[in-house]
Structure 1
């Protein structure tokens, strides 16, 4: 009896399918942020006073834009153009920030200069007004001892002082007769000898070269030159420098005719200063 063999069946498997890779999400956030900040920074830079905001946003946008471009080159982002635009706007923001800072600071400096100029003009007007009051009060000058500029064409009285623009002050005392010694130079027989005290006070910020100071005198109504007398401590003149906040005093002697009623003393601190005259009664 024969046996029938049935063919052995093998299990059926589904055909092989390759495994799908997960889709990578584009990282476009940095490029987009750079674009937004660049736009805001550029608009802020158009306003000079907002230069600080434009500068800050420009720096941040530049960093984000460059990083976004690097991601796009690696294939991690797809908005390379957006990131590049953000970089360009960031550079524009920084340029506008620099220009705005320059414009703002220059405007502030100009305003400060104008204020200082206005203050100086006001002080000058006040000084001129005081000088006018001084000349109108008595026809001769102001109260003795005041540090004022003489009115144009007017001489100061004995004891008055003149103050220059840099706060250098010069004062001349009244003329006092004295008897020169036998060794005195510059005194003529029959004339009278007078001595005056010149005081220089340096209230400026720089030292003053006192050796440059020149003093001369004229006597009488005819304005005859009064020769300077040199006698021991009289007529030696100023020497050296006067430091800020200090003063120096020198006695000058002058020879005048016996009938002279006044002595006009002129003092010129140096070639940088105007000469000033004092009308001293004898």
Structure 2
């Protein structure tokens, strides 16, 4: 027993202050807030923030029980932990919204690209169809008229039998002699120039016809200049083998391209 009148020494119920929880809460709270500031690191910030809240509550419990004396640190860690959790939630929500917006934008871009590709494909198909139509328009029956873009109208008449003169080149006895008449009409108001080559003739089986030149003076070569409102006529003679097919193909070559006519070897 201590002497009378002297205060008795009461042993402390606990040992030295246990401030580790409060310090840990503060450190983890700072880490959670720091990571939360980088929005897209929300997935890494929520765990230290949550631990800061837990350690903060435990630290405050220790302070109330007298086991610790760093209430301020524990409270700061608790507050920072909550802030970190809020930032993690906000970062998560922002990331979800951003990813959704990006996905929608990507979908729109893909749809735009697909629509553009579809439109381009449609335009290409349209252009190809137009080209096929232009090519089809260049294949006519003998006697029909083709109109060039410059306005000139060209007609290859149905062929008719031709009797060569006494002197003839490109024709042998027993062969079929025919005459082709090519008419060029210029209905425009201006003079049009067009180089026209000799017509190329073959039968349906691909047998070439020979250009027939004779002394009958019945042939006439087209000129290259066509006055407005005038017509020009070219007359050409050709010789086919006696057993040639009963159908001929005529190709007229100009500086505007090829045009084709086809029909019976002689007019009916």
Aligning the two structures, in what range does the TM-score lie when normalised by the shorter sequence?
Answer: 0.3 to 0.5
> So what's the TM-score if we normalise by structure 1?
0.43
- Under a length normalisation based on structure 2, what TM-score does the superposition of the two structures give? 0.45
Structure with more of its chain in helix, by fraction: 2
More RCO (CA 8 Å, sep 6+) = 2
Q: Based on CA coordinates, which of the two structures has the bigger radius of gyration?
A: 2
